[in-house]
Amino acid sequence: MKLQEQRSQFEIPSEVSYLNIASLSPSFKTVEKAGLDAVKEKSQPFLIPSLAYFDPVKELKQLFANLIQAPDLNRIAPIPSVSYGMATVANNIKLKKGDEILLIEEQFPSNYYVWEKLAQKFEAQITIIPKPKQNKDFGKLWNEAILNAISDKTALIALGNIHWVHGTIFDLKAIRKKTKAHKALLIVDGSQSVGALPFSVLEIDPDALICAGYKWLFGPYGCAYAYFGSYFDEGQPIEENWSNRLDSENLSGLTNYQSKYKPLANRYAVGEHASFIYVKMQIAALKQLIAWSPKSIQEYCASITLDAVKELQEAGFYIAESEQRAQHLFGVELPERLNQTALKERLAEENIYVSFRGNSLRISCHLFNTKEDLKKLSTCLIAALD
């Protein structure tokens, strides 16, 4: 399916070029309506049935399972943040002294601090796989370095599907194959990819996949998703809440305390995960994303960025080649001679929103963007060269 521009589904002023969804997504109009409708429902709580604590959550988990091709919704847990999901993962991992945790250079903090703490707890070792210094075949060389680093002493590797600044695609299929050969865990942060880039649990088979919900999944801030593989089937949650226990749907019998959890990942769902407002917003968002499909979103983003990328590369900006990076998110390395102060002033004047990360500018786009948005940006960047 070839997608067309979808700006009419968003409340973004025509003069604004929003190229920063990797920080925070705008809401679809349908997501906004779902949230407002849910707020109104809370005004009359006596009309909210007890099944509202359960049935919408099942629908939400099934939608997310469909998006990532997970065969069982019971492997999905609604959580409030990536850090919560990573803490749950780390809480159920025991290491031996000298075991190795592999991370990549410049990993997002929520996928670093938790492993630093785990390594300290068990006297394990963290090994950082550096990004290549040379630009040519940047992504290929980084993937080779990751694969070469996995060995018998590797207990786990944690990384994103793509790099959160550069958009470098990591070959999770190859990485998973090697982790299995060395009996190591694969923990994936899908926050900057799932929803915009195809991801299949059936293909990758990660031990855990943790995703923020407020970026490419278009949910509200404060919602996230976790997929847990079989390694975590009998694990311990970091909190105990009533709705995660077996037979919790029977509200009149809640004080008949139940020692058993609901099956699989249900034990890891955060308390109050049935939030009537958040759940309805997330359901509306996932339905639309599935209708569009991540594959078609990638193709659309590639089509609107192609000309601007070529123009910037010819002007001396480094952008990784298309086949080694994502199309919805990528970095533009800024030359030393570029006047960043002048650039930021020009961007503000033109109502262009992007993220500066180190010496790179991160572009993240979606179906509300057009070629004209990218042209405006490239013009500003080239004008800032001294």
For the stretch 287-325, pLDDT in tens is: 999 999 999 999 999 999 999 999 999 999 999 999 999
Q: Which of 60, 68, 58 is nearest to 228 (CA)?
A: 68
Element (H, E) at 100: strand 100-104
Q: What is the pLDDT of residue 262?
A: 94
Identify whether residues 257 and 357 lie together within a single domain: no
Type of residue found at 189: D
pLDDT tens track for 351-373: 999 999 888 999 999 999 999 99
Q: Is the pLDDT of residue 335 over 70?
A: yes
In a domain, 33, yes or no: no
Residue 386 has pLDDT above 80, yes or no: no
- pLDDT at position 185 is 98
**Is 333 among the domain residues?**
yes
Q: How confident is the model at residue 1 (pLDDT cuts 50, 70, 90)?
A: low
In angstroms, the Cα distances linking 26 to 30, 218, 221, 247, 357 are 11, 7, 11, 38, 21
Do 247 and 101 reside in the same domain of the chain?
yes
Stretch 185-214: mean pLDDT, rounded? 98
326 and 241 both lie in a single domain = no
Helices (H), the chain: 29-42, 55-67, 82-91, 113-122, 138-149, 172-181, 201-204, 276-292, 294-314, 340-349, 371-383
Residues 284 and 301 placed together within one structural domain of the fold: no
Q: With left for phi above 0 and alpha for psi between -120 and 50, is residue 16 left, alpha or beta? A: beta
**pLDDT at res. 298:** 97
Give the count of domains, the chain.
2
330 and 204 inside one domain: no
The CATH number of whichever domain residue 307 belongs to comes to: 3.90.1150.10
The pLDDT assigned to 253 comes to: 87
Residue finishing a domain among 226, 256, 291: 291
Last residue of a domain, which of 271, 291, 311?
Answer: 291
Average pLDDT value for residue range 221-226: 97
Average of per-residue pLDDT across 234-244: 94
Domain presence at residue 34: no
For the ranges 53-57, 228-232, 372-376, the lowest mean pLDDT is seen at 53-57
CA distance 369 to 5: 7
SS3 of residue 98 by DSSP? coil
Decide if 2 is inside a domain: no
DSSP-assigned states of every residue in 3-66: ----GGGB---TT-EE-BTTT-PPPBHHHHHHHHHHHHHHTSGGGS-GGGGTHHHHHHHHHHHH
Domain with 311 in it: 7-28+294-383
Residue 1 lies inside a defined structural domain of this protein: no
- If asked whether residues 286 and 174 sit together in one domain, one would say yes
Residue 134 confidence (pLDDT) above 90: no
Beta bridge partners of 126: 101
CATH value at residue 263: 3.40.640.10
Q: Which residue has the higher pLDDT, 386 or 327?
A: 327
Q: How far is CA 244 from the centre of its chain?
A: 24
Query: What is the pTM assigned to this prediction?
Result: 0.96
Q: Tell me the residue type at 102.
A: L
> Do 373 and 240 fall within a single domain?
no
**Are 23 and 48 found together in one domain?**
no
> Is residue 20 domain-resident?
yes
CA 252 to chain CA centroid, nearest Å: 38
Among 23, 27, 19, 11, CA closest to 366: 19
Please compute the mean of the pLDDT values over residues 97-117 and round it to a whole number.
95
The answer to whether residues 284 and 300 belong to one domain is no
Q: Kindly state the percentage of the chain with pLDDT values over 70.
A: 99
Question: For residues 1 and 295, what is the distance between their CA atoms, to the nearest angstrom?
Answer: 9
Cα maximum dimension of the chain: 73
Pick from 253, 273, 291: which residue ends a domain? 291
Does 286 share its domain with 298?
no
- Do 51 and 160 belong to one domain? yes
Mean pLDDT of the chain: 95
Q: What is the mean pLDDT of residues 8-12?
A: 95
User: With contact defined as beta carbons under 8 Å apart, do 227 and 190 qualify?
Assistant: no
Q: Is residue 69 part of a domain?
A: yes
